[in-house]
């Protein structure tokens, strides 16, 4: 089917109108990207993307990630036109409290939003994670007879995204691991918020991405045929290289007073909207969508649904021929965890004296066998964080079936990529580094919590117990800072048995991320506490580790490697002292 340029050009104009009306009404927002990239949206949503507006979470859809999340009206306009459950009323409530069209896209708030983005560069990492997960899903579940996963991941990023360090980490990772299903579209409009981009950057971005190992193309933003051709070339190459399309756009296109200037980034053009709408040929009616545009997208939706029905035939054939794979995929999608997971972890010897990171490494192995969709990454620290899944291999371009992900020294990139894996929805994502380096990754951890992603962070070398590495590596204030992140569970187990309970608690939680803070130094088995109580108590978030044997005089709350000292202190303080192990206040309060 040939692309209908006339219909899509009209749709691009009307998408500009929707963005201008919404920003004008809210007196806040960002016009630059929605206006400058309207033709990109027309080609993607009006022709190229494989998706299903009636089933936004279809597992084999193409993904579109808006890394430059401030341009959210771009998404809301095209989702509305495409037939997603995003109404004109929703667009009228743009940026209003509790609306379905928040200022920056939020996962689960709006149908068709793939990732929570806004902090620049995060979406690049997310898109890389989705692309990796799609490769893994294809390797795990496709057969020679049935290809149920063959996705492409499109990501739109601006100058600000590519200036952020997280995009560099993620891009280098994507190229090294050959994620050729990733198409990164660079909205090169030569502006940033404060000023023209030339005042803060002078590198050759195309050469930069070629140096990473991307295939690159460079085109003009107002030529839909050129953009379509570039995307088709990118999709068809399949050469082990991610794709990078530089598209030169005009920020704020359609508002002559500000287009192509830094003022176009935000809402400065709102006061010129009435004249701009007239210049674009739009009627006085606000939030206008023509009958012709409605009819075009209704017809296009029929094609999308026909493609989906064809895939469903493949899906049913695959399920019939591969019942074990089908059950495994169903369990992965439903995020099922074996009810007897805790029982699968052998008890530790009563005389064991292990660092909780080492105990965690032992606990991980039976969990990984019971949860085949669990993947485990590390930022160049497997030997220290102990979270390598044995007998499962490394994820590489030649072995996308591997469950261990070597992220390199890229903590921020790792956590942004883990978010993308979770957004894809098949694999349980976990990653490890030293606890003190969580500060490098904090923005991605915070977004995981905001999006309620079930990530698992295995962060080791907790507290001053790191010892001779000195204060730069002793995360004495880090746990307190992490506990401030809403929806993040932070668990500090005290001994190997508590560590077993902590890992199971992390796996069982599917409505948000969990961070395990584990020791480098050995800790004793707390045999004065029943082993079952230690395991189960952590799952509850807290429990009484030592009951007072006289009228209650004092309660000591402790956790992690300090619990042993709290128990010792209680003996000296007398029979009226109670000790509570509180490894996770967030779980306890729920």
- Would you name the residues annotated as active-site residues? 411
Question: Among 37, 16, 19, which residue's Cα sits nearest to residue 154?
Answer: 37
N-to-C CA span, the chain: 54
Question: Among 357, 584, 370, which residue's Cα sits nearest to residue 490?
Answer: 584
Question: Among 266, 269, 62, which residue's Cα sits nearest to residue 153?
Answer: 62
Residues in a beta bridge with 428: 374
Q: Is 574 left (phi over 0), alpha (psi -120 to 50) or beta?
A: left
| Residue-wise burial string across 97-131, b where 16 or more C-beta atoms lie within 10 A, e elsewhere | eebbbbbbbbbeebebbbbbbbbbbbbbbbbbbbb
Question: Among 163, 164, 139, 166, which residue's Cα sits nearest to residue 150?
Answer: 139
Alpha carbon distance 537, 554 (integer Å):
21
Here the tokens at position 291 are 């009958």
CA atoms within 13 A on the CB side of 261: 9
Alpha carbon distance 579, 559 (integer Å):
10
Length of the chain: 590
Assign 32 to helix, strand or coil.
helix
DSSP designation for 335? T
C-beta separation of 216 from 246 below 8 A: yes
Alpha carbon distance 346, 366 (integer Å):
9
Q: Residue 303: how many CB atoms within 10 A of its CB? A: 11
Alpha carbon distance 418, 459 (integer Å):
14
Alpha carbon distance 337, 454 (integer Å):
12
Alpha carbon distance 456, 364 (integer Å):
12
Alpha carbon distance 412, 165 (integer Å):
8
* DSSP assignment of 481-546: HHHTSTT-EEE--SSHHHHHHHHHHHHH--SS-EEEE--SSEEE--TTS-HHHHHHHHHHT-EEEE
């Amino acid at each position: 089917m040939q692309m209908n340029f006339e219909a899509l050009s009209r749709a691009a104009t009307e998408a500009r109108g929707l963005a201008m009306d919404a920003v004008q009404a809210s007196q806040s927002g960002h016009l630059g990207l929605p206006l400058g990239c309207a033709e990109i949206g027309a080609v993607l949503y009006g022709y190229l993307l494989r998706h299903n507006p009636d089933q936004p979470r279809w597992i084999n859809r193409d993904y579109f990630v808006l890394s430059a999340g401030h341009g959210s009206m771009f998404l809301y306009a095209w989702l509305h036109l495409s037939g997603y459950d995003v109404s004109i009323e929703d667009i009228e409530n743009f940026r209003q409290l509790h609306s379905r069209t928040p200022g920056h896209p939020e996962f689960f708030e709006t149908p068709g939003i793939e990732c929570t983005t806004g902090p620049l560069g995060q979406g690049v990492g997310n898109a890389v994670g989705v692309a990796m997960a799609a490769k893994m899903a294809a390797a795990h579940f496709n057969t020679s007879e049935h290809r149920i996963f063959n996705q492409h991941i499109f990501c739109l990023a601006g100058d600000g995204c590519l200036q952020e360090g997280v995009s560099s980490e993620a891009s280098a990772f994507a190229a090294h691991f050959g994620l050729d299903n990733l198409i990164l579209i660079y909205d090169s409009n030569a502006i940033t918020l404060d000023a023209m981009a030339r005042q803060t950057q002078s590198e050759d971005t195309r050469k930069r991405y070629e140096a990473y190992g991307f295939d690159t193309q460079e085109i003009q933003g107002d030529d839909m045929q050129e953009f379509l051709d570039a995307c088709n070339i990118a999709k068809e190459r399949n050469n082990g290289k991610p794709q990078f399309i530089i598209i030169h756009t005009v920020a704020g296109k359609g508002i002559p007073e500000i287009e192509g200037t830094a003022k176009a980034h935000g809402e400065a053009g709102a006061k010129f909207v009435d004249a701009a709408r007239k210049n674009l040929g739009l009627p006085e009616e606000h939030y206008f969508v023509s009958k012709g545009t409605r009819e075009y997208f209704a017809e296009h939706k029929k094609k999308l649904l026909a493609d989906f029905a064809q895939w469903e035939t493949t899906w049913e054939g695959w399920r019939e021929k591969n019942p074990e794979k089908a059950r495994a995929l169903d369990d992965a999608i439903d995020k099922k965890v074996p009810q007897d997971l805790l029982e699968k972890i052998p008890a530790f010897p009563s005389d064991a004296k292990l660092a909780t990171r080492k105990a965690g490494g032992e606990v991980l192995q039976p969990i990984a066998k019971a949860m085949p969709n669990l993947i485990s990454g590390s930022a160049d620290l497997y030997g220290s964080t102990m979270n390598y899944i044995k007998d499962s291999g490394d994820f590489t371009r030649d072995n996308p079936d591997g469950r261990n992900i070597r992220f390199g020294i890229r903590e921020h990139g790792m956590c942004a990529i883990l978010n993308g894996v979770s957004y894809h929805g098949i694999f349980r994502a976990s990653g490890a580094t030293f606890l003190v380096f969580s500060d490098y990754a904090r923005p991605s951890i915070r977004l995981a919590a905001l999006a309620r992603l079930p990530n698992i962070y295995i962060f080791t070398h907790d507290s001053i117990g790191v010892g001779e590495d000195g204060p730069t590596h002793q995360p004495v204030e880090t746990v307190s800072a992490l506990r401030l992140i809403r929806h993040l569970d932070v668990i500090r187990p005290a001994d190997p048995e508590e560590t077993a309970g902590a890992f199971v608690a992390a796996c069982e939680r599917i409505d948000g991320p969990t961070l395990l803070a584990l020791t480098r130094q050995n800790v004793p088995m707390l045999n004065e506490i029943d082993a079952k109580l230690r395991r189960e108590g952590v799952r509850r978030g807290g429990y009484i580790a030592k009951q007072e044997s006289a009228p209650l005089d004092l309660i000591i709350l402790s956790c992690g490697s300090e619990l042993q000292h709290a128990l010792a202190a209680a003996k000296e303080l007398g029979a009226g002292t109670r000790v509570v192990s509180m490894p996770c206040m967030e779980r306890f309060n729920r």
